[in-house]
Structure 1
Amino acid sequence: MTGQRARECFTRARIARLATLDDTGRPHLVPAVFALTGDTLVFAVDHKPKRTAHLKRLANIRAHPEVCLLVDGYDEDWDRLWWARADGTGAVLPPAERAAVSAHYVDLLTRKYRQYADRSPDGPVVEIQVARWSGWYAT
């Protein structure tokens, strides 16, 4: 799969898996809804219940900004299997920047996910500059 095709798969995907590293180098994997603009992937902390306000994914990105996101398509017909990956550098946007930059990103998320129509994300926003798109498909 070409990088361009991998990016196109991300454009259509609804959910990704976000991989980060903690301070000890241990991987941490969580699902994430996201929006894509150019070669920038964004996600935001939303109102869904969480165990803590101090999310490990945010701490990990602050400590080790290298991240990876994966989307995939599974089918019982294994000739239709595929996955696409985005490797990049993430940043948790600081409050001073949130007013301008994050508002645009939250708007992108709200347009993509109808679940945000009544309550858009109001938590930290993460911006990921994708350096490499890659992927695979069975046929």
Structure 2
Amino acid sequence: MDAVARFAAARIARLATVGADGVPHLVPLVFALDSDTIYSCVDHKPKRSTALRRLTNIAANPAVTLLVDHYDENWDHLWWVRVDGRAEVLAPGSPESGAAIDVLAAKYPQYVDRRPDGPVIAIHDLLWHHWSAFGP
């Protein structure tokens, strides 16, 4: 399996953003890769606020990084994939936002049962980095 396929198959990623204050912020999230765009959304899972720092940070600085990885006690099975890109927050109800939710629902059945209606993060201009203990 190549690095992009490993990334796409992962169930969770960590999103790193940096705000206007220069402070990094890291959160786990669900995502889906659609061609050359990665989507995530603000869903119904409990959060302290709907004014999420990741959204504020993206508005201030669209450069983001996502990381997926696999750990195993057998270190010959270790790997990680990191993708850097430029993010934008799509307004709920926009055509791209609706299409993004469809892509996310194809990967996560929870979104079929309870379709998210919050903002969508779209990440473009993807630059891929990867490492694997067992080769490319």
CA displacement, residues 65-114 of structure 1 (integer Å, 9 cap, x when unaligned): 0000000011010010000011000000135xx43111110011111001
Which one of 46, 51, 55 corresponds to residue 52 of structure 2? 55
- 1:89-100 counterparts in 2 under 5 A? 89-95=86-92, 98-100=93-95
- In the alignment of these two chains, the number of paired residues is 134
Gapped regions of structure 1 (runs ≥ 5):
none
Percentage of pairs with the same residue: 54
TM-score when normalising by structure 1: 0.92
5+ residue gaps, structure 2, are: none
What does 1:126-137 correspond to in 2, within 5 Å? 126-137=121-132
Q: Which residue in the other structure is 1:111 paired with? A: 106
Find the residue that maps to 2:81 and give its secondary structure: strand
- Which segments of structure 1 move beyond 3 Å, counting only runs of 4 or more? none
1:115 positional shift? 1.4
Structure having the higher helix fraction is 1
Deviations 1:24-49 (A, max 9, x none): 11110000100111121000100000
Report the alpha carbon displacement of residue 8 of structure 1 after superposing the two structures with TM: 1.4
Distance 1:130 1:34 in 2: 16
Q: Distance in 1 between matches of 2:112 and 2:36?
A: 25
Structure number with the bigger relative contact order (C-alpha 8 A, sep ≥ 6) is: 1
Please report the TM-score for the alignment, with normalisation by the length of structure 2. Answer: 0.94
1:120 to 93, 110, 115: 115
What is the RMSD of the two structures over their aligned residues, measured on CA atoms? 1.3
